[in-house]
Structure 1
Amino acid sequence: MTRPATTPDHRPRTSDPNPGAADRTAGVPRQAGAARRPDVARPPAGRPARTAVAAHLVGRALRRLPLDVNTGPTRGPETPGRPDITLHDPDAFFRRIGRDGLIGFGESYMAGEWDSDDLTGLLTVLATHVDDLVPAPLRGLRPLWVSARPGRDRNTRRGARENIHRHYDLSNDLFASFLDPTLSYSSAVFTAFPARAEDLPAAQHRKIDRLLDLAHVTDGTELLEIGTGWGELALRAAARGARVTTLTLSAEQAELARARIHAAGLTDRVDVQLRDYRDAEGRYDAVVSVEMIEAVGAEYWPSYFAALRGALRPGGRVALQSITMGHRQMRNTAATHTWISKYVFPGGLIPSRRAITEHAAAAGLRTVSDEGFAEHYAQTLRLWRERFTASRQTVTDLGFDTVFQRLWEFYLAYSEAGFRSRYLDVRQIVLAEKPPTAERS
């Protein structure tokens, strides 16, 4: 496993997994995990009518897509180049979808009720044809089978701390098992495709350097970073001579970021604060925030952009890196409890470009530049997924059971498919203060 660059006195601590991770006894994972994941451990009680409707609609949709569909232990003829889906327990598969839609689809994978020899390829086909999965006349019935987001996931100050803890405080060692040595957990920028594993550290530095350039960070710049990660951007900015204040709500990330900054001899240039972005203090020459807005939640986007504007000195710049989706898709997702919000990023929502522009403008910021690079995120996620798959024994030794590993594999493949299908994009956006409105004579 790739270890973070720490001194012996600052070895990353493995925290207990969140409620979606393994039950453990003396470090040995239990595979059932019923108490922690009851919705995965057993299929829902049968509702024959809903199960029959799901079997008819989903079964028909799968057969119409460029997929090979297999049911039970016998595999049918395979078409070269086409991904497959094998239903080991069709009844449980359709019962879950009949009750919980796409949440049930993901939980069925976690439970081992279906598999694919090309999971990312399968999910890419589904993402590309997402509007074809339910017949048009029935799409208006969507509210009958989707769940509303639970109120406990709201990103109040307390809720935001808990939501961040549930993902980013899983274990520093878990993230180190599939990230590259820079510990960068956001899209890299490559110079050639297909990207190789050995290209990833340089590609992550290229992404960081581009953001710092966009924000005009140089020697003497006072920089605010919202969303520390494990400290690589702060290290890179400090090496340029900037003075960096970086904010995070993750205790695990803050501890390791401080250790890495100490090891680099840059503690006099970087201040890591365990602080909510809404409580940021001071004004800065530049603000950088990398894939942080997705965790804020639509309810709090006005507060987020107000914090960006409030932290900026006259003439300063904000450089954002954000995942985006189409505006209509964002509106549909905003009030919906999804598999990602249930198991991976509680309280999160990916914005649209329109939402970013409108909320930035309302806060007094204008868009200076906006560049997308979705194919680079697909490559980044592929490399993470391959590293995670190769590190299964390490992940098991950390106490994460089979169901958690299938959860994480599905999450990485699901995300990669979103970028491969262009359902998702990732963009680097520069914002600056709006010029004062000229007074009319």
Structure 2
Amino acid sequence: MADAKYDLKRKCMETEDSQPKKRRTDETTGLNNGTKITDVNQFCLEQIFIHLSLEDLLNVADSNAYLKLGTGMPFVWNYAGKSVLIDQTGLIYYTKTKIITKTNGSAPNPLFCDKDITIVDLKTIFQMIRCFGGMITELEFRYYKRSKNNQFTNYHRIMSYIYEFCTESLKKASFDEALGFEGFKIPFKNIEDLTIKHLFGLKEKCLSRVFPNVNRLNLGFCIDDTFSFLSEYFTNLQHLEFNWNVPLSDSVTDILRLNSNLRSFKIGMDDFDVFKRISERYLQSIESLDVEWIGVQKASDSSIYLPNVKKFKYCYYERDVPASKIPFSFNHLEEFEIKYVSTVEIFLTFINENRTIEKLTFDRYAVLSMIGTGQLQNMLPYLKDIIYFRSISDNIDELPLLLSHMEFLRSFAFFAGRTLDEQIRAACDGKWRMNRNNNIVTLERTEAMV
């Protein structure tokens, strides 16, 4: 009898072993203990990964090919169209945060951290470009050349990564150096806005080949020898900017001569006579002009005539002799911005000669004080928008009276701290809507009053 019970028990155990074992369910997660994350379908992974921070999303994407597929859409949903800054200058002070975004707080030095996403950690830089470089549309690479060899090596490694993973996606790019472009064989065919801040490393004419569809070209500091490599023809170039005082050499003339489709031009210089000759020959078709005058302006009746300019920005840095006038004339000027002009009389003389101005930007409160007399309105009958790019804090008590005399305006913008919001709203008296962007306040006329 005992032997019969033993045989029955043995047979039951054999039968149990022959059946497939069922996975035990974890009551806390609802998942079987044997389930791996790679068993989860891509749709579910996307719904999980959308809640990750960018740093965690990078680590997941860099860990497994299957998981990387699930990170693509979360990156697009959360970060598509965001500007990315790769910073290797060391100007952003020590921070434990590898990735600085506008949502997780500012860097210890926010002056150098103005993009949506800023990466200062070298490993994270490579992760970002390798995993999501094909989805980045706006990229800035800041680099400060140091004497250490490994730092120089890192520059070329980062450039090679950008070249390998971002050639198809980038539409706007900014580089501190011009090193390495000569070796790029495949062009960045989608970049339309290009900035190169220092041109020391440029050794041959290659920019138009590497960036064939550039529409806006912003060139920074360079030396005389470098300009000879810039005289290239860009098929789509319409906006050209020199962000430093440049010598008006033959090479600059060649750039303007070769690119006759220019519609916007910015330059800083100190030779009026040379610029006048260049302007009258090559800039007659431009519609926007930005001039920074550095040096001594000659007191003469001579002026530069540009008939098609609609937008004009003028900045004059005085040295020894104050400016006698603004030496430019136009047919139909619509927007005018002025900085650092010594006397209000020079400003008033110019706007009296350009009565078609609709938008005005300036930094002298003395001009604002004249609005109460109606002088500005009489001089500019089409004026609709004013931007005063200084703080109005010292004159906040005068704001109600100021607004009461500006009923002809559509908008009025100025700088003001948040502590003044209540006083500004009281001055609006229901006739203006207040919009704030950081420290810039824009007052817009309500529809009923326009």
**TM-score for the superposition, normalised by structure 2:** 0.24
- The structure carrying a bigger strand percent of its residues is 2
Max Rg structure: 2
Larger RCO, structure (CA 8 Å, separation 6 or more) = 1
**TM-score for the superposition, normalised by structure 1:** 0.24
